[in-house]
Structure 1
């Protein structure tokens, strides 16, 4: 299939692109940013099936001309992933990029007969409900709090409503605590995963000191990308919303210890009282998301748990750390 990923040179976009290319699809990445240097080298072997277009997500005319070229699927991955500081300074932009910028793309998809659109949402849409329920499934009532969470929840409802009005095959997925290859921070993403921050400390030659264990249903990015690919290829998904998660809660501390065990000299531990740490949690613990819907309908489950993802990330890190 021919697939365009908006926000394609970002963290999740690159992982999805890698999986789709490996499955034989043609992929176009649309983003305001160029490919990171390490990714430029990695994706060089796929140039015959990979196109990269630099452009703003708000450039309606350029996006319409792109969609007019004919695509089987669109992935909406452009977003401002905001923590408290970015939320304070870019409130209007969060809503503009994460919600309103999707509307012209969806309209173009309807006009041009795009087979399927997948909106990449977030577990943050559950908001405060994550502290009130033991497990979060797609029917759990949401209580989004931050502007990022509000924007993601609103994007899901907007995508679903347009699908109802025009008959489009539009889906949303809630991604849970994703970490892994190609993760990056920047002007539109200031909430790096604990795993990213652990590796950053290791790269500086420092011990990774965590303020707390950091328990979540952490999801290795290649697993999340594979789930998105499954939904793109599915003939007739039965739902408009799917959770994508490892389905099990474990701590970033446990992951960091597993990673450090593979590299003598590295250390990951909790910070002692009064000991300074630069690692930030970016939100507290919450209930894990259920993936029963994905498992029952498609047989999909995450392949990487805590130890497995640490080993896989270790191999990736050794191969790519010069370009990080």
Structure 2
């Protein structure tokens, strides 16, 4: 298929692109930033399948002209992943990029006959409900609080409403706490995972001192990308919304210890009361996401648990240490 990923040179976008290219699809990445140098090397074997287009997500005319070339599927992955600081200073930008920019893209997708649209949403859409339930499934009532969470929940409802009005084939996925290859921070992403922060300390030659254990239902980006690829390829998905998570909670501390064990000299532990740490916990604890819907319909389960993802990320880190 011909697939375009908006936000394609970002963290999750690159992982989705890699999964799709490996499955033989032709992929176009649309993003304001070019392909990172390390990714350019990694994707060298896919040059005939890969196109990178640099542009703003708000450039309606350019995007419409691009979609006119004909695509089978769209991945809506462009987003401002905002923490408290970005929320204080960029509320309008968060809503513009995460919600309003989708509207003309969805309209163009319908006009140009795009077969499927997959919207990358977030577990943050559950919001305060994450503290009221033991497990979060796709039918759990949402109570988003932050502007980022509000924007992601609104994007889901916008996509669902367009599907109703235009008969479009659109669905959304709620990604749990994602970490893994190609993660980086920047002006549109100020909430790096604990795993990224652990590796950043290792790259500086420092011990990774955590302020807390960091217990979440983490999902390795490679697993998340394979789930998205599966949904793009699915002939007739039974639902319009899917959770993507490992389905099991484990701590970032445990992950850091497993990673450090593979590299003599590295150390990951909890910070002592008198020690200062630059590692930050982002977001409050919440219940894990249920992945029963993905498992029952597609037989999908995350392949990488704590130890497996640490080992895989170790190999990636040795090749791309400059990316951290």
TM-based fold match above 0.5: yes
Asked if 2 retains the 8 angstrom alpha-carbon contact of 1:214 and 1:284, the reply is no
Partner of 1:9: 9
For 1:11 and 1:323, locate their aligned partners in 2 and report how far apart those are by CA, in whole Å. Answer: 11
Give 1:91 deviation, angstroms.
Answer: 0.3
TM-score, scaled to structure 1: 0.99
Asked if 2 retains the 8 angstrom alpha-carbon contact of 1:9 and 1:30, the reply is yes
Partner of 1:102: 102
Give 1:296 deviation, angstroms.
Answer: 0.2
Unaligned stretches of 5+ in structure 2? none
Number of paired residues?
324
Task: Answer yes or no: is 1:41 the counterpart of 2:62.
Answer: no
Partner of 1:62: 62
Matches of residues 192-211 of structure 1 in structure 2 within 5 Å?
192-211=192-211
Asked if 2 retains the 8 angstrom alpha-carbon contact of 1:79 and 1:188, the reply is yes
Task: Answer yes or no: is 1:240 the counterpart of 2:240.
Answer: yes
Partner of 1:273: 273
For 2:38 and 2:17, locate their aligned partners in 1 and report how far apart those are by CA, in whole Å. Answer: 15
Asked if 2 retains the 8 angstrom alpha-carbon contact of 1:28 and 1:51, the reply is yes
Task: Answer yes or no: is 1:74 the counterpart of 2:81.
Answer: no
Q: Secondary structure of the residue that 2:48 maps to in structure 1?
A: helix
Give 1:306 deviation, angstroms.
Answer: 0.5
Partner of 1:291: 291
For 1:4 and 1:24, locate their aligned partners in 2 and report how far apart those are by CA, in whole Å. Answer: 14
Matches of residues 146-225 of structure 1 in structure 2 within 5 Å?
146-225=146-225
Q: Secondary structure of the residue that 2:138 maps to in structure 1?
A: coil
Q: Secondary structure of the residue that 1:141 maps to in structure 2?
A: coil
For 1:266 and 1:130, locate their aligned partners in 2 and report how far apart those are by CA, in whole Å. Answer: 34
Give 1:322 deviation, angstroms.
Answer: 3.6
Matches of residues 130-145 of structure 1 in structure 2 within 5 Å?
130-145=130-145
Give 1:323 deviation, angstroms.
Answer: 4.6
1:70/1:92 CA distance change after superposition, 3 Å: same
Give 1:274 deviation, angstroms.
Answer: 2.4
For 1:129 and 1:258, locate their aligned partners in 2 and report how far apart those are by CA, in whole Å. Answer: 32
For 1:95 and 1:141, locate their aligned partners in 2 and report how far apart those are by CA, in whole Å. Answer: 22
Give 1:84 deviation, angstroms.
Answer: 0.2
CA-to-aligned-CA distance 1:177-200 (integer Å, 9 cap, x gap): 000000010000000000000000
CA-to-aligned-CA distance 1:17-50 (integer Å, 9 cap, x gap): 0000000000000000011111111112211000
Partner of 1:282: 282
For 1:42 and 1:304, locate their aligned partners in 2 and report how far apart those are by CA, in whole Å. Answer: 21
For 2:143 and 2:252, locate their aligned partners in 1 and report how far apart those are by CA, in whole Å. Answer: 25
Partner of 2:320: 320
Task: Answer yes or no: is 1:111 the counterpart of 2:149.
Answer: no
Partner of 2:53: 53
Q: Which runs of 4+ in 1 moved over 6 A?
A: none
Asked if 1 retains the 8 angstrom alpha-carbon contact of 2:210 and 2:269, the reply is yes
Partner of 1:92: 92
Partner of 1:29: 29
Q: Secondary structure of the residue that 1:118 maps to in structure 2?
A: strand
